[in-house]
Chain A
Amino acid sequence: MPDDVTLAPAAAPRVSFEELYRSSYTRMVVVARLTVGDLARAEELVQDAFAQLYRRWGEVSQPHGYLRIAVMNACRSHERRRVVEQRHPVPPAPPTVHDPVAVAVRDALAALTPRQRAAVVLRYYEDLPERDIAAALGCRPGTVKSLLARGLRTLKEHLDD
């Protein structure tokens, strides 16, 4: 069970695990990649999250919400591991994005703290309201406001450069 799982009380229409997997896998990988910055790692984290969800499938009323929380928890855990890994840095992966706006945003996102980056991705890519971001990150809506405000300020500084 993911640590900060918050299951919303209203039951959503139930889909099968396979349907959810097919419909959500790629989008969850996008979210994870935007958060952790590495595609291969993002796929690993998302697959771990699906494996968790599969084992809890019979107990979870809102699978997509559970999945998102599991992915964000996995991303957060990854950021902790990365602190260790950075003591033994490896060569960066070759760039794969050439769109100048995308490159600028990618580089600016890297300047954020992991929590700010997660909040920004959920707000501006997933278009989630603050309450849902708070549920996904296991914090208060007020904390989300703060994370977003500080994150945007940092992004502006980097994007204006």
Chain B
Amino acid sequence: MTDVETTLRAGLAALASDTEARVSPPPVEDVIRRPVVVALSPRRRQRLLKVVGGVGAGVALTAGAAAATGTLPAPVDEMVAEFREWGFPAGGGATRMAVAEGEAGTYGLWLSLLDDGGYCYYVRLGGSPLRGEDGAGSACSHEISPQGPGGSALLGGWPATTGPGDDVVFGRVPAGSTAVDVVLGDGTSFRVEAQTDGWFVAVVPSSVADGISIDLRRTG
């Protein structure tokens, strides 16, 4: 261990002790009643984006949905390999389930079904070599059946607030829904239509100021 690592561990331990001495968990009942704010963000630095969720995007989606193993864009293929590396048996390649256009390019929501049930999904900014922390959000789950639109829950990820870059929302509508409302803290909202099998992706318009809260609500 280097001197830096030794000093770092000692400092972190001291800071942790200070925190532990000053923290007292509130009653659990108070915590579970808190409104949920979901954080996330595939983001880039571009400023202006248009929302293309909607029925019209389904046309472009049809071609994208045909993607399969062996024909995937290299970054998607790498992401699927990474899912496997993480221990998720994504042996079936990936399928693009939703798209949204923006100034930065085309955001695609890719879905990989797992051999043992469940799925991984992944948002990619097309045409960009940047992935992971720079261009995508991803999630894997064995918990929820990928068959048919949603369970009872609205799935997905979105930033808690708008920021100085793209704000991408994505996920899957609950069963029985065909769209989701993106509700912003400035009092405005817009509707995003689900595309293939209930999956959606959209970008908050850049006209929305930074620091505005973002929430997604089921509709329809």
Chain A residue nearest to B7 in the complex (CB): A159
Is B39 a contact partner of A76 (Cβ separation < 8 A)?
A: yes
Residues of B within 8 A of A77 (CB): 37, 39-41, 159-161
Central interface residue in B8, B88, B132, by most chain A CB within 10 Å: B8
A55 CB, min distance to chain B CBs, angstroms: 6
Assembled-state Cα–Cα distance A18/B32 (Å): 10
Is A3 a contact partner of B137 (Cβ separation < 8 A)?
A: yes
Say whether A111 faces chain B, with CB atoms less than 8 Å apart: no
Say whether A12 faces chain B, with CB atoms less than 8 Å apart: no
Chain A residue nearest to B209 in the complex (CB): A84
Say whether B144 faces chain A, with CB atoms less than 8 Å apart: yes
Q: Kindly identify, within residues 153 to 204 of chain B, every residue whose CB is under 8 Å from any CB belonging to chain A.
A: 153, 155-161, 163-164, 171
Say whether A14 faces chain B, with CB atoms less than 8 Å apart: no
Q: How many contacts between A and B, using CB within 8 angstroms?
A: 201
Assembled-state Cα–Cα distance A138/B134 (Å): 10
Give chain A's interface secondary structure class: helix
Report how many residues on chain A are interfacial, defined by Cβ distance under 8 Å.
70
A37 CB, min distance to chain B CBs, angstroms: 10
User: Among the listed A26, A50, A120, A140, which residue makes an inter-chain contact with B8, where contact means beta carbons less than 8 Å apart?
Assistant: A120
Q: Kindly identify, within residues 134 to 160 of chain A, every residue whose CB is under 8 Å from any CB belonging to chain B.
A: 134-135, 137-141, 143, 152, 155-156, 159
Is B40 a contact partner of A29 (Cβ separation < 8 A)?
A: no
Residues of B within 8 A of A2 (CB): 38-40, 139, 157
Residues of A within 8 A of B19 (CB): 26, 29-30, 33, 39, 42
Say whether A128 faces chain B, with CB atoms less than 8 Å apart: no
Chain A residue nearest to B15 in the complex (CB): A102
Chain B residue nearest to A58 in the complex (CB): B143
Given A73-B40, A76-B39, 13 new contacts (CB under 8 A): A3-B40, A3-B158, A5-B139, A6-B139, A21-B31, A25-B25, A48-B36, A51-B34, A51-B35, A76-B41, A77-B39, A105-B14, A140-B132
